[in-house]
Amino acid sequence: MASLGLGLFVALPRKRTKTGALLALAIVGMCGALLLTVMRASGGALLVSAVLIASFGLSRRALIVVGACALPLIVAGLFVLHQKRQVGFLDQKDDSIVWRETVQKEGLQLLVSNPRHLLIGVGMDSIKAHWREENGRIPMGHMHSDYLQIALERGVPTLIAWLFLMYLYARTLWRTRRSVPGDHWLEKGIVLGALGGLVGFMLSGVVHYNWGDSEVVMIFYLIMGLSLVVAHQCQYGER
């Protein structure tokens, strides 16, 4: 949602308006809420998403100004992280990092332990039901990774198919971004936000199981639907 808001704000032709003020307020609120969660991967993914959106929608001069304004926010985020968790951004002593490394190592071992697991996986949600049968090699829960979770539960072919679908979606957004008329700022903002959000979603999915959170997936599909409507309008000249 923060990426969508940023995409709309960047595409807005006149930013010193009530619409611009509301979008800016929404972006600040969402970024502040994310900052307070102290989730490094999500924050880093949003930063990459913001850079991508800004690079497509702003001039070089505006990019420099935005970059200068973003530096204090990054420093503030690192400060909050240190104060809340008493760890650095990539601290091997952090329990969260150690836990993810342990879980993903065990999950990968389970995946390659049987050819059937590689082909069709161990079954959706079967880890929660049969985790004790693995003799402590796997915890009751998830793998803290979209990619590993999909491969482990559904098989590597399913992971490849899912990645291909995400590639097709990204290609559609990329082509639509170039075909949206310049005066249609709302459509342009939706596509920019969807493209940046997709990149952030895929990046954070390396160490987060985003597909296991129904609210996150619902928002992802909502933005996908909006962007595909824009793509359809651009392709067939509808408005």
Per residue in 7-32, pLDDT (tens digit) is 999 898 888 899 999 998 998 888 88
CB 184 within 8 A of CB 191: no
3-state secondary structure of 69: helix
Query: Cβ–Cβ contacts within 10 Å for residue 167, how many?
Result: 10
Q: Is the dihedral of CA 57, 180, 183, 191 positive or negative?
A: negative
Residue 55's pLDDT is 85
User: Hey, what are 171's tokens?
Assistant: 């290609």
Cα–Cα distance measured from residue 220 to residue 100, given in angstroms and rounded to the nearest whole number: 24
User: Hey, what are 151's tokens?
Assistant: 């491969």
CB 70 within 8 A of CB 43: no
Residues whose CB is less than 8 angstroms from the CB of residue 204 and which lie 6 or more positions away in sequence, other chains included: 41, 42, 44, 45, 210
CB 227 within 8 A of CB 191: yes
Which H or E element spans position 219? helix 214-236
Which amino acid would we find at residue 99?
A: W
pTM above 0.85, yes or no: no
User: Hey, what are 65's tokens?
Assistant: 């100004």
**What is the pLDDT tens value at each position of the chain, 239 positions in all?**
889 998 999 898 888 899 999 998 998 888 888 877 767 778 888 888 888 888 887 766 666 766 666 666 666 666 665 566 655 555 566 677 777 888 888 888 888 988 999 999 988 877 777 666 666 555 556 788 999 999 999 999 999 999 999 999 999 999 999 888 878 899 999 999 999 999 999 999 998 888 888 888 999 999 999 999 999 988 876 55
